Structure 1
């Protein structure tokens, strides 16, 4: 994958800030995936608490 980076701790996905990593679906390009999951199954995929 183009976004994944391999670190000594394992695979990580960078946020918009260099050096910060998160698996949170609300950051970067992953946010659009979370949006479409919520459109597809709105009663099953809820907004995460921020």
Structure 2
């Protein structure tokens, strides 16, 4: 049995349609925060970078 535990973070954020660079920056900020909290996996909503 594998006793390793992994912290998973689910991101809930609204993306702005057509503002890909802004959406990427928001995702990067969220990723940095999740990493600081020890997340091993971060999941974003579909089409978050649209």
Indicate the TM-score class for this superposition, using the shorter chain for normalisation: 0.3 to 0.5
- Relative contact order (alpha carbons < 8 A, sep ≥ 6): 1 or 2 greater? 2
TM-score by length of 1: 0.35
Considering fraction of residues, name the structure with more helix: 2
TM-score by length of 2: 0.35
